[in-house]
């Protein structure tokens, strides 16, 4: 939740580095058994997409993200 709350503030390049490092852990949250965790990570990822779409410029990253979203749906 904290990560999603600060997406508007940081410099794009610095935030991009942090998100890319944490991306695998963030994507794993889509598979959590608790629906509140899955809801929260969906919100966080929506905020990242809204303010830092550059995170998904890499084809491998967008494929991983889309697979997690499709499995969660």
Per-domain boundaries in the chain:
2-72
Q: Which two tokens stand for residue 11?
A: 């410099």
User: Cα Rg for the chain, rounded, in angstroms?
Assistant: 12
Mean pLDDT to the nearest integer, 18-28: 84
pLDDT at 3: 66
* pLDDT value for 59: 82
Query: Quick one: CA dihedral 40, 11, 22, 53, positive or negative?
Result: positive
Whole-angstrom distance, CA of residue 16 vs CA of residue 55: 6
Summarize the confidence of residues 42-71 as an average pLDDT.
Answer: 83
**Residue linked to tokens 């993200």:** 65
Contact 30, 22 (CB under 8 A): no
Q: Indicate yes or no: pTM above 0.95.
A: no
């Amino acid at each position: 939740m904290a990560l999603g709350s600060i997406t508007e503030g940081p410099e794009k390049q610095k935030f991009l580095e942090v998100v890319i490092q944490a991306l695998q852990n963030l994507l794993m949250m889509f598979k959590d058994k608790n629906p509140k965790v899955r809801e929260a990570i969906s919100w966080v990822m929506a905020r990242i997409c809204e303010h830092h779409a550059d995170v998904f410029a890499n084809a491998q990253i967008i494929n991983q993200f889309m697979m997690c979203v499709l499995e969660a749906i």
